[in-house]
Structure 1
Amino acid sequence: MIGEENKIILMEDSQNQGCHPEGTAWFEFHMELPSETEPFQLEQAVCSHGFFMMAPNHWDPLSKTLTRPLLLHNPSSPSSSSSSLLVSISQRSQSLAVRVHSVHSISPQQQRHITAQISRMLRLSQAEEKAVREFRSVHIDHPNRSFGGRVFRSPTLFEDMVKCILLCNCQWPRTLNMAQALCELQFELQNVLPCAVVGSSNPKVEAEGFVPKTPASKENRIKKAQPKGTLLKKKLELELELEVDGNLQIDNHVFDLSSDTTSLPPDNGDSEMHGSDDSCYQFPNEGEYFDRTGNFPSPIELANLSESFLAERCRLGYRARYILELAQAIVEGKIQLEELEELSKDASLSCYKQLGEQLKQIKGFGPFTRANVLMCLGYYHVIPWDSETIRHLKQVHSKNTTSKTIESDLEEIYGKYEPYQFLAFWSEIWDFYETRFGKMNEMHSSVYKRITASNMRSTVNATNKRKRPSRKCQC
């Protein structure tokens, strides 16, 4: 995955090692960036989708640096060890400076694995470069300077698939909360109870002694106030809908992961909408955050957990079953991640249909989730839609869109950009959010939780704008 295929060159003469002032070791190497398209901008490539706000990613808007743990082995191998190191990525002209923390050196093979994961996150392959060039050529009538045609994704397909599940049927703060809880769980599995859970022969490890740390979200607080009969009925209806339809015609603004907050409506104490505990969603400073938060869990780390434990520890609800079954299928070899990635390399329509059929067999992967996963794999001709998409078409395009007409409306508006309909839509909606909330790459992580559907629908008055000099939201 290195060299000509990904247009990435490791600059050997720029490798170095050293220590921070406080004595922490680090190792640094550079990746030369492709030059065929317009000048690459790291902040554009990272701050282009809500995934960059989800743990374990941490974007620093001041230094324009992305920091997160990355695996030291081939991420497509589900049975590999879960060893990882904290890595920071920043831009130096037409190269990326990659700093690996807490080590004086890494092996050439580990360096290749880290480079491949960075290449995947930032979409630096030849195929993605071609897509960026072609999209810009057909989308010249509506340029969005904050969207360069690259949609940020995870370093592994498994992380993308799980995060697509986390987007469904909940508010954005809860999605952030669940992702962070999964990363905290990974840290605990590696450092707190490695013998009790990791590698256990028990196929359903309960991990007694683990106490869920993630506070209940708005969704849980609402449930407590409702009659048990009503809750049970709604729960059964929802789970039935998810089983059959695969997720999503509910008003959850999952795709409004894009909103910035140079200015936001003031917090009026509406804790039901915004949440009452800022600490649940903001990243502490780098050292504190990564001291207690691990990498995103791998399939093998989740496969032996019990559904009840996973659901309770990370407040996943019904999603725990889907995530657990996905992890188990990968570990058992029923789902081959490497094969799915290989099929998507040329982004052909025949492969799209084949991949779609494979994903359709996985529980919890309905139309919306499948379309999102396939977008992560490089297919841009289908726009995943939900109620937020309907809102956008009504508000921006003055369409009387409903769930029955949305597909024809999307075709009417974005069909001319084929096969890059999603990129055209995403560029437009990203521009809408940035116009309303401010630049994504300048947002401070502490306000991510305030990117909700209500704030996107409401008009932001000049009198209600709250200035945050260096604390801007991104989605």
Structure 2
Amino acid sequence: MARSADSCCILYMRLSDYGVNGNTFKLEKAICNHGFFMMAPNHWDTLTKTFTRPLRLTTSLSVIVSVSQPPAQNQLLLKIHHATLLSPEDQHAIKVARMFRLSVVDENAIQEFHKLHLDARNQEFGRLFRSPSLFEDIVKTILLCNCNWQRSLEMAKALCKFQYELDKGVLVKRNGRTWRRKQRSVVEACSLGLGNFPSCEEIALLSESDELNKFCNLGYRARFILRLAQHIVSGKLQLQKYEMMMMNDNTETTTQIMASLQTIKGVSKFASANIMMCLGYYQFIPCDTETIRHLKEFHGIKDCCKTSVASNVKMLYETYSPFNCLAYWFELVKEYERQLGKPLSELKNSEYICVTGKKS
């Protein structure tokens, strides 16, 4: 149900319509559990418990969407700022359900995981936040590689600023081939001072990765991100096939997807495992230096190293299969919160750079 009020379109999303139990769903638990929620253009308000970011409609126009959860109600409240009534197609296009994993498939996975992990059930952990698109998930995963957390945050923010500068309006496809500029995007009114996360179509318009790197300082990642965008736009790489294959979940399919992801330039073994997690395949744990640190400090495996970490995590988390990664992230999040002295949902934006297990 949607209505318009004070130049703001109000939309109510009934959780039961998505197969989600409204009695157990908590918005802050669905959002504040994975580093992606801290990366631009996402914004979590600790006081009002409201999530805000630009999202795209079917026309590719960006609008600012705020999401909150009214108390004791089996629904989410969406405010689409500076917009009139949204069509059913536009309501689907904003991909709120994808970010918060509102689906029967996700709900069933959480219930199965909770049967194996009682502590996670008791602390209402099971949804890992992701982006409104798989493209954004992949790019942000590339931003995580071979750098510290602060730099990852800075690069995501730079990409959103770049999108704002790159396209003062929005890019609209014409005749299936060329692009023209339309009216200024609603995203310019965003109080967050950022644009949207750039789409693959916007990045693919660039002729060289230097154009992207000059503004965003992405280093070697710029050429991988440009190549990724160009291959998607040209049809050489079809990301929708990965999400469609998710519906045919079996061991062979999972192995195929993992292998296919690693053929994408810039997608390492760590990156492919992280992308699999975003897709909803939790068998694989993204192993990096943070994983090694966690296993040493939390599990006492002092000799854990780059060559042994894969076998170490297999030993520790196999009992939770096929939800190994959820069990790992549950531990990681609880350790971060213990060290910080507060839940991730109570962190100020300026404190996000502190969310790491590495001692300064």
Query: Would the TM-score normalized by the shorter structure come out above 0.5?
Result: yes
Cα distance change, pair 372–366 in 1 and its aligned pair in 2 (3 A): same
Partner in structure 1 of residue 114 of structure 2: 136
Q: Does 1:69 align with 2:54?
A: yes
Cα distance change, pair 68–426 in 1 and its aligned pair in 2 (3 A): same
Partner in structure 2 of residue 432 of structure 1: 335
8 Å contact from structure 1 (residues 37, 133) kept in 2: no
Measured after TM superposition, the shift of residue 449 of structure 1 is 2.2
Partner in structure 1 of residue 39 of structure 2: 54
Q: Secondary structure at the match of 2:76?
A: strand
90, 97, 105: which one aligns with 2:85: 105
Measured after TM superposition, the shift of residue 357 of structure 1 is 2.2
Partner in structure 2 of residue 402 of structure 1: 305
How many pairs align?
A: 340
Q: Distance in 2 between matches of 1:346 and 1:119?
A: 20
Counterpart amino acid of 1:432?
Answer: E
Measured after TM superposition, the shift of residue 147 of structure 1 is 5.2
Cα distance change, pair 310–71 in 1 and its aligned pair in 2 (3 A): same
1:271-329 Cα distance to aligned partner (Å, 9 max, x none): xxxxxxxxxxxxxxx9532xx41111111100121211101110100000000000000
Counterpart amino acid of 1:133?
Answer: Q
Partner in structure 1 of residue 130 of structure 2: 153
Larger Cα Rg: Structure 1 or Structure 2?
Answer: 1
Q: Distance in 1 between matches of 2:205 and 2:137?
A: 20
Measured after TM superposition, the shift of residue 356 of structure 1 is 1.6
Q: Distance in 2 between matches of 1:325 and 1:191?
A: 23
Counterpart amino acid of 1:63?
Answer: T
Cα distance change, pair 85–327 in 1 and its aligned pair in 2 (3 A): same
Measured after TM superposition, the shift of residue 372 of structure 1 is 0.5
8 Å contact from structure 1 (residues 39, 94) kept in 2: no
Measured after TM superposition, the shift of residue 146 of structure 1 is 5.0
Q: Does 1:90 align with 2:68?
A: yes
1:333-372 residue pairs with structure 2 within 5 A? 333-372=235-274
Cα distance change, pair 16–363 in 1 and its aligned pair in 2 (3 A): same
Partner in structure 1 of residue 183 of structure 2: none
Counterpart amino acid of 1:70?
Answer: L
1:10-409 residue pairs with structure 2 within 5 A? 12=1, 15-19=2-6, 25-34=7-16, 35-36=20-21, 39-73=24-58, 81-92=59-70, 93-114=73-94, 117-140=95-118, 142-143=119-120, 148-191=125-168, 287-289=190-192, 292-305=193-206, 306-399=208-301, 400-409=303-312
Partner in structure 2 of residue 420 of structure 1: 323
Measured after TM superposition, the shift of residue 172 of structure 1 is 1.1
Relative contact order (C-alpha < 8 Å, sep 6+): which is higher? 1
Measured after TM superposition, the shift of residue 452 of structure 1 is 4.1
Counterpart amino acid of 2:350?
Answer: S
Q: Secondary structure at the match of 1:143?
A: helix
1:330-369 Cα distance to aligned partner (Å, 9 max, x none): 0000111211110123432222111122212211111000
Q: Distance in 1 between matches of 2:126 and 2:170?
A: 42
Measured after TM superposition, the shift of residue 61 of structure 1 is 0.7
Counterpart amino acid of 1:166?
Answer: L
8 Å contact from structure 1 (residues 380, 422) kept in 2: yes
Cα distance change, pair 411–367 in 1 and its aligned pair in 2 (3 A): same
Q: Secondary structure at the match of 1:345?
A: helix
With 129-138 and 102-111 compared, the bigger mean Cα shift is at 102-111
Q: Distance in 2 between matches of 1:169 and 1:152?
A: 22
Partner in structure 2 of residue 446 of structure 1: 350
8 Å contact from structure 1 (residues 382, 421) kept in 2: yes
Q: Distance in 2 between matches of 1:450 and 1:100?
A: 31
Q: Distance in 1 between matches of 2:170 and 2:37?
A: 29
Could you tell me the percent identity over the aligned residues? 43
Q: Distance in 1 between matches of 2:159 and 2:93?
A: 23
Counterpart amino acid of 2:351?
Answer: V
Measured after TM superposition, the shift of residue 60 of structure 1 is 0.4
Counterpart amino acid of 1:17?
Answer: S
With 370-379 and 404-413 compared, the bigger mean Cα shift is at 404-413
8 Å contact from structure 2 (residues 120, 126) kept in 1: no
Measured after TM superposition, the shift of residue 37 of structure 1 is 7.9
Give structure 1 stretches of 5+ with no counterpart: 1-11, 20-24, 74-80, 203-285, 459-475
Q: Distance in 2 between matches of 1:146 and 1:364?
A: 35
TM-score for the superposition, normalised by structure 2: 0.89
Counterpart amino acid of 1:162?
Answer: V
Give 4+ residue runs of structure 1 displaced > 2 Å after superposition. Answer: 34-38, 142-147, 192-195, 199-202, 345-348, 449-454
Counterpart amino acid of 1:71?
Answer: R
8 Å contact from structure 1 (residues 82, 298) kept in 2: no
Partner in structure 2 of residue 76 of structure 1: none
Q: Secondary structure at the match of 2:48?
A: coil
Question: Considering only aligned residues, what root-mean-square deviation do their CA atoms show, in Å?
Answer: 2.2
Counterpart amino acid of 2:326?
Answer: L
